Structure 1
Amino acid sequence: MDAKRIIKKVAVLGSGVMGSRIACHFANTGVQVLLLDIVPKDAPPDDKKARNKIVNDALDFALKSNPSPIYLKSFAKRITTGNFTDDMPKIADCDWVIEVVVERLDIKRQVFETVEKYRKPGTLITSNTSGIPIHLMAEGRSDDFKKHFCGSHFFNPPRYLKLLEIIPTKDTSANVVDFLMDYGSKYLGKTTVLAKDTPAFIGNRIGVFSIMSVLQYVEKTGMTVEEVDKLTGPVIGHPKSATFRTNDVVGLDTMVHVANGLYQNAPADEARDLFKVPSFVDGMVKNNWLGSKTGQGFYKKEKVDGVNQFYALDLKTLEYKPSQKVKFASLETTKAIDSLPARLKILIAAKDKAGDFYRATFYELFAYAGNRIPEIADELYKIDAATKAGFGWEMGPFEKWDALGVEDTVKAMEAAGNKPAQWVYDMLAAGAKSFYKIENGKRLYYDIPAKGYKTIPGTEGFILLDTIRATNTVWKNSGTTITDIGDGILNLEFHTKMNTIGGEVIEGINKAITLAETSYKGLVMSNEGANFSAGANVGMIFMMAVEQEFDELNVVVKTFQNTMMRIRYSSIPVVIAPHQMALGGGCEMCLHADKVVAHAELYMGLVEFGVGLIPGGGGTKEFALRLSDELQEGDVELNNFRDRFLTIGQAKVSTSAYEAFEFGYLKKGRDVVVVSRDRLLAEAKQQCLQMANEGYVQPIPRSDIRVLGKQALGLGYVGANTMYSGNYISEHDVKISQKLAYVLSGGDLSQPSIVSEEYLLNLEREAFISLCAEKKTLERIQSILTGGKVLRN
Structure 2
Amino acid sequence: MHTNRNIRKVAVLGSGVMGSRIACHFANIGVEVLLLDIVPRELLPAEEAKGLTLEHPAVRNRIVNSSLETALKTNPSPIYSKSYISRVKTGNFDDNMKDIAQYDWVIEVVVERLDIKKSVFEQVEQYRKPGTLITSNTSGIPIHLMTEGRSDDFKAHFCGTHFFNPPRYLELLEIIPTPATKPEVVDFLVHFGDKMLGKTVVLCKDTPAFIGNRVGVYSMLAVAHLVEQMGLTVEEVDKYTGPAMGHPKSATFRTADVVGLDTLVNVANGLTQNAPNDEAKGAFQLPAYLTKMVENKWLGEKSKQGFYKKVKDEQGNSAILSLDLKTLEYKEQTKVKSATLEATKPVEDIRKRMKVYEKGTDTAGQFFRAMHYPLFEYVSHRVPEITDDFYRIDDAMRAGFGWEIGPFEVWDALGVRETIEKIKTEEKRLPGQTGTVATWVQEMLDAGVESFYKVIDGVRNYYDIKTKSYLPIPGTEDLIVLDHIRESKTIWKNTGVTITDLGDGIINCEFHTKMNTIGGDVIQGINKAIDIAEKEYRGLVITNEGKNFSAGANIGMIFMMAVEQDYDELNMSVRMFQNTSMRIRYSSIPVVVAPFQMTLGGGCEFSMHADFVQLHAETYMGLVEFGVGVIPGGGGTKEFALRASDEFRADQITQNTLRERFLTVGQAKVSTSAVEAAELGYLEAGKYAITMNRKRLLADAKAKALELANAGYVQPAPRNNIKVLGNQGLGIVYVGASSMRAGNYISDHDKKISEKLGWVMCGGNLSAPTEVSEQYLLDMERKAFLELCAERKTVERIQFMLTKGKPLRN
TM-score by length of 2: 0.96
Alignment of 1:483-498 (within 5 A): 483-498=500-515
CA shift for structure 1 position 93: 0.6
Pick from 591, 598, 602 the counterpart of residue 608 of structure 2. Answer: 591
Please name the residue that 1:565 is paired with. Answer: 582
* 1:625 paired to 2:634: no
Pick from 581, 590, 596 the counterpart of residue 579 of structure 1. Answer: 596
Q: Distance in 2 between matches of 1:169 and 1:777?
A: 63
Secondary structure in 1 aligned to 2:653? helix
Secondary structure in 1 aligned to 2:34? strand
* 1:17 paired to 2:17: yes
CA shift for structure 1 position 634: 6.4
Pick from 102, 120, 136 the counterpart of residue 127 of structure 1. Answer: 136
Q: Distance in 2 between matches of 1:380 and 1:317?
A: 41
Please name the residue that 2:686 is paired with. Answer: 669
Structure 2 regions of 5+ residues with no counterpart?
44-52, 428-434
Please name the residue that 2:401 is paired with. Answer: 391
Pick from 711, 730, 739 the counterpart of residue 722 of structure 1. Answer: 739
CA shift for structure 1 position 45: 5.2
How many equivalent pairs are there?
A: 793
Q: Distance in 1 between matches of 2:662 and 2:672?
A: 19
Q: Distance in 2 between matches of 1:757 and 1:97?
A: 53
Please name the residue that 1:316 is paired with. Answer: 326
Please name the residue that 1:347 is paired with. Answer: 357
Deviations 1:285-317 (A, max 9, x none): 222221222222211223332322222122222
Pick from 53, 58, 74 the counterpart of residue 83 of structure 2. Answer: 74
CA shift for structure 1 position 393: 0.9
* 1:544 paired to 2:561: yes
Secondary structure in 2 aligned to 1:717? helix
- Is the contact between residue 42 and residue 54 of structure 2 (CA under 8 Å) also seen in structure 1? no
- Matched AA of 1:231: Y
Pick from 360, 365, 372 the counterpart of residue 375 of structure 2. Answer: 365
Alignment of 1:80-95 (within 5 A): 80-95=89-104
CA shift for structure 1 position 461: 2.3
**Structure-2 change in CA distance of 1:324 and 1:750 (3 Å):** farther
Please name the residue that 2:42 is paired with. Answer: 42
Deviations 1:687-716 (A, max 9, x none): 111111111110101111111111222222
Secondary structure in 1 aligned to 2:174? strand
* 1:146 paired to 2:163: no
Alignment of 1:744-759 (within 5 A): 744-759=761-776
Secondary structure in 1 aligned to 2:366? helix
CA shift for structure 1 position 35: 0.6
Alignment of 1:226-245 (within 5 A): 226-245=235-254
Pick from 772, 787, 795 the counterpart of residue 778 of structure 1. Answer: 795
Q: Distance in 2 between matches of 1:715 and 1:336?
A: 50
Pick from 280, 288, 309 the counterpart of residue 289 of structure 2. Answer: 280
Q: Distance in 1 between matches of 2:266 and 2:601?
A: 44
Please name the residue that 1:53 is paired with. Answer: 62
* 1:411 paired to 2:421: yes
CA shift for structure 1 position 329: 1.6
* 1:329 paired to 2:346: no
CA shift for structure 1 position 728: 1.3
Question: Which stretch shifts more, 519-528 or 289-298?
Answer: 289-298
Secondary structure in 1 aligned to 2:495? coil
- Is the contact between residue 12 and residue 35 of structure 2 (CA under 8 Å) also seen in structure 1? yes
Q: Distance in 1 between matches of 2:664 and 2:317?
A: 30
Please name the residue that 1:710 is paired with. Answer: 727
Secondary structure in 2 aligned to 1:485? strand
- Matched AA of 2:324: D
Please name the residue that 1:291 is paired with. Answer: 300
CA shift for structure 1 position 38: 0.7
Deviations 1:58-104 (A, max 9, x none): 00000111110011111111111111111111111111111111111
Question: Which stretch shifts more, 723-732 or 571-580?
Answer: 723-732
Question: Which stretch shifts more, 769-778 or 687-696?
Answer: 769-778
Secondary structure in 1 aligned to 2:155? helix
Please name the residue that 1:768 is paired with. Answer: 785
Deviations 1:633-683 (A, max 9, x none): 466311111111111111100000000011100112221111111111111
CA shift for structure 1 position 326: 2.0
Question: Which stretch shifts more, 146-155 or 732-741?
Answer: 732-741
Q: Distance in 2 between matches of 1:724 and 1:319?
A: 48
**Structure-2 change in CA distance of 1:479 and 1:290 (3 Å):** same
- Is the contact between residue 3 and residue 184 of structure 2 (CA under 8 Å) also seen in structure 1? no
- Is the contact between residue 41 and residue 54 of structure 2 (CA under 8 Å) also seen in structure 1? no
- Matched AA of 1:703: N
Alignment of 1:675-690 (within 5 A): 675-690=692-707
Please name the residue that 1:187 is paired with. Answer: 196
Q: Distance in 1 between matches of 2:305 and 2:608?
A: 44
Deviations 1:127-160 (A, max 9, x none): 1111010000111111111100110000000000
**Structure-2 change in CA distance of 1:716 and 1:303 (3 Å):** farther
Q: Distance in 1 between matches of 2:741 and 2:594?
A: 38
Please name the residue that 1:516 is paired with. Answer: 533
Please name the residue that 1:437 is paired with. Answer: 454
Please name the residue that 2:543 is paired with. Answer: 526
* 1:741 paired to 2:758: yes
Structure 1 regions of 5+ residues with no counterpart?
none
Please name the residue that 2:472 is paired with. Answer: 455
> Where in structure 1 do 4 or more consecutive aligned residues deviate above 6 Å?
none
- Matched AA of 2:32: Q
- Matched AA of 1:37: D
Q: Distance in 2 between matches of 1:211 and 1:518?
A: 54
Please name the residue that 2:432 is paired with. Answer: none
Q: Distance in 1 between matches of 2:750 and 2:436?
A: 62
Secondary structure in 1 aligned to 2:336? coil
TM-score by length of 1: 0.99
Please name the residue that 2:233 is paired with. Answer: 224
Please name the residue that 1:269 is paired with. Answer: 278
- Matched AA of 2:4: K
- Matched AA of 1:354: A
- Matched AA of 1:683: D
- Matched AA of 1:640: T
Deviations 1:254-280 (A, max 9, x none): 111111111111111111010111222
**Structure-2 change in CA distance of 1:624 and 1:330 (3 Å):** same
Root-mean-square deviation (Å): 1.2
Q: Distance in 1 between matches of 2:643 and 2:240?
A: 47
Q: Distance in 2 between matches of 1:125 and 1:12?
A: 10
CA shift for structure 1 position 334: 2.4
Question: Which stretch shifts more, 307-316 or 519-528?
Answer: 307-316
Q: Distance in 2 between matches of 1:322 and 1:278?
A: 23
Deviations 1:12-63 (A, max 9, x none): 1110000000000000000011111111112645311101111111000001
Q: Distance in 1 between matches of 2:726 and 2:497?
A: 40
Alignment of 1:95-110 (within 5 A): 95-110=104-119
- Matched AA of 1:179: F
- Matched AA of 2:257: D
Q: Distance in 2 between matches of 1:541 and 1:508?
A: 19
- Matched AA of 2:142: P
- Is the contact between residue 40 and residue 54 of structure 2 (CA under 8 Å) also seen in structure 1? no
CA shift for structure 1 position 474: 1.6
